[in-house]
Chains A and B, each alone.
Chain A
Amino acid sequence: EAQVTQNPRYLITVTGKKLTVTCSQNMNHEYMSWYRQDPGLGLRQIYYSMNVEVTDKGDVPEGYKVSRKEKRNFPLILESPSPNQTSLYFCASSLSGYGYTFGSGTRLTVV
């Protein structure tokens, strides 16, 4: 089944403890993006990647890192999480840069 897989689905962590949210797609898509979703703000792009080793900042990149060493994987790294990064995170991929397929989401709480 064609899909985007994120892990974990839920995560509660403490301020400052490094964490990684994994994202993998099995559709051989070139484009991948990370979004955060907060009430009333819709989906805001954190980082995106147009191909292996090609990444760029979205609208809200502060406090996040990404890497794209393989086409299928696009992990999101929070080096030192803070409470304002408590949010619902989505990874998404696309063949053409349009019409993204989203993962099921990761609900992160930073206390």
Chain B
Amino acid sequence: AQKITQTQPGMFVQEKEAVTLDCTYDTSDPSYGLFWYKQPSSGEMIFLIYQGSYDQQNATEGRYSLNFQKARKSANLVISASQLGDSAMYFCAMREGRDSNYQLIWGAGTKLIIKP
């Protein structure tokens, strides 16, 4: 079964609009962390934001925020006031606390294109 599901293969958004990228996850481990990474066309992976399973508040980092709904097992990334430079692939990933190798489980990604 898919542990990380990103249902939007691609999205087109008008510049300056807010964007929500969906991510649902599946785990029985009570301790886990959720990560979002950005991959521009140049190929590097850029860490954006992290949410721990025990965190009481939704994570925020500048224009990025994470809409964490634990009961629904969703961790959607919200980008406010989108910019042309936000055009990239976005990956959601999870680390389970029981994994002593600290491996990440990756979603399929969402390709975001910001239109001027």
Same assembly: no
List A residues at the B interface (Cβ < 8 Å). Answer: none
List B residues at the A interface (Cβ < 8 Å). Answer: none
